[in-house]
Amino acid sequence: MESLLIAVLVGVAFVLFAGAVIYSTMHLKAVVPAEDREYLDPLPKWLLALWPLLRLIDYHICQRLPKRMMASSSESLRLSGLLYLMSPTQFLALCLVSMATFFGLALFALDMLDTTSILAPIGAAAFGYIYPRMWLKDSLKKRRKLMVKALPVYLDFLTMGIEAGLNMAGALGQAVAKGPAGPLKNEFAFVIRDLRSGLTRAEGLRRMEERVRIPQITSFVSAVIQAERMGASLGPTFRSQADQRRTERFQLAEKLAMEAPVKLIFPLVAFIFPVTFLVLMFPIAVKFMQSGAF
């Protein structure tokens, strides 16, 4: 009878605890203000499922942390073009969720293997915290690669527009309208918006340079500003810049092609050569064994 009463009390206590947790979670979620994403980028599918949890952690924890902790994340998000996807505090919330997820997976794996370890969950949590930053770094590299690849095409559009008699704003408008989609198209659209808002051509281009921080864009902006100050025509400037960017792309391709044999040495030595020697030596070894040499 006493054991039954204890079981009932434990069950009631568990139900009350679960109810309190659910009520607290619902209350914390209810106080989170609504988010207006009309002028923000759409969320990817994998992030859409986690977004309510991220906003909950962001509002109650991350937004209360010192702003200096978000400085590096804010700069990385801005350079990678993801600042219109999430704020620095939301990115920190993503890091915390990833850390907790990897920590839980490590504990589950240790429980399935029936082993105990302290370093494994700690290492998994550290990797989980770093993983979103690795994704951010890869996004930045991909964005810069796409911009460098599309730059000669847009320079050709600008050259044709200037030589056809358009001004800088008109040539940029034609380049944005006819050019391939990508991050560089968005940046030139921002330049057009800045020019229409009253900024000078140099100021608009300098703002684009500050947003992307790519050497090729910096060279292009410096050449345009210098040509404007000296009164030179922009058509030859754009054409020389396009030729220079294409030359750099061919040189980079040649460099990567020359590095390929060096990078193939380790896979050849570690994986291909041993298998080749095994295939060649196995019949010889079998013949020696059949002949009684061994």
| Structure confidence by residue, pLDDT tens digits, 279-293 | 888 888 888 777 765
- Whether the Cβ atoms of residue 146 and residue 160 lie closer than 8 Å to each other: no
What is the average pLDDT across 247-265? Answer: 87
List % helix, strand, coil for the chain (3-state, nearest 5): 80, 0, 20
Q: Is the pLDDT of residue 237 over 60?
A: yes
Q: Is the pLDDT of residue 37 over 80?
A: no
Q: Mean pLDDT of all residues in the chain?
A: 84
| Structure confidence by residue, pLDDT tens digits, 75-125 | 888 888 888 889 999 999 999 999 999 999 998 888 888 787 788 889 999
Q: Is the pLDDT of residue 294 over 60?
A: no
- pLDDT interval class at 126 (50, 70, 90): very high
- Whether the Cβ atoms of residue 191 and residue 208 lie closer than 8 Å to each other: yes
* C-alpha 212 chain-centroid distance: 14
Q: Is the pLDDT of residue 6 over 80?
A: no
Alpha-carbon separation of residue 204 from 111, 159, 200, 223 (angstroms): 58, 19, 6, 14
Instruction: Tell me phi and psi for residue 227, to 5 degrees.
Output: -65, -35
Domains and CATH numbers, the chain: 144-250 (1.20.81)
What is the average pLDDT across 249-278? Answer: 85
DSSP string, 141-199: HHHHHHHHHHHHHHHHHHHHHHHTT--HHHHHHHHHHHSPPSHHHHHHHHHHHHHHTT-
Task: Supply the DSSP symbol for 38.
Answer: T
pLDDT over 70, % of the chain: 88
Task: Give the range among 5-14, 40-49, 254-263 with minimum mean pLDDT.
Answer: 5-14
* C-alpha 189 chain-centroid distance: 21
**CA 98, CA 93: separation in Å to the nearest integer?**
9
